[in-house]
Amino acid sequence: MFGAALKPGGGTATKILMGVLVATWALNLITRGLLGGLFVMSNEAVAAGQFWRLITSSFASVGLFATLLNVLVLWLVGRAIESELGGWRFLALYVTAGLGATTMCFLLGPSWLVSASGAAFSIIGLLAANAIGKLKTHEDIRGDISLLVLLILYSLLVGFSSFGWLGMIGGALVGALVGVILAYAPRSNRTAIQVFGLLGVTLACLVAVVAKIALG
């Protein structure tokens, strides 16, 4: 379902997103890390009230190699997913998956946790949602599952102490959940159900973050 062939003229939202990632990397370089310092996920900063980081982390790409890799993956798979979902659903999936990742980091990570991999967390959410779409249309998803598992295992092996794997798992889980909402919404009132479903996931993440802060 989400792996459909790219339609002519499609991929506008994907290209905009790619441009944003490149722009944030360039601006972060120009400001000598100031922009990245304001955008990336930081448990301590979120606990102090900087809730925007839960979202802006998905648009932060603070390393040249990471930026190029994220842009490449978006170019390879993002356009096809957007072609099937449409621009606003694609962007909503990207942002919500990233929010799920940062929520997981905040809930289960240590207070000192700072993660600069927000874009990668959102992208793994796109891949998880794509697997759900394929599952609905009875396509082979073994390759998708293998890729997701390899990415998470790689994150565990390379950056276990940095807890980046929490974001990978959170992004994959919430991406899959959003994929279910988008793929399995009944035809009657489909758009309304998808919108309320996405809002519900977003609200659940924010409530969980606020609850942890309130409970200390």
Q: What angle do CA 128, 102, 145 make, to 5 degrees?
A: 15
Please report the pLDDT score of residue 109 as a whole number.
94
What is the helix, strand, coil percentage profile of the chain, to 5? 80, 0, 20
Angle between helices 142-159 and 164-184 (to 10 degrees): 160
Confidence grade of residue 160 (pLDDT, cut at 50, 70, 90): low
Would the pLDDT of 149 be above 90? no
What residue type is assigned to position 153 of the chain? L
pLDDT tens digit sequence for 87-96: 999 999 999 9
Question: pTM of the full predicted structure?
Answer: 0.92
Q: Which residues pair with 114 in a beta bridge?
A: 42
| Domain chopping of the chain, boundaries | 12-215
Distance CA 137, CA 108 (A): 34
Please report the pLDDT score of residue 141 as a whole number.
87
Domain 12-215, CATH among 2.30.30.100, 1.10.565.10, 1.20.1540.10, 3.40.50.10300:
1.20.1540.10
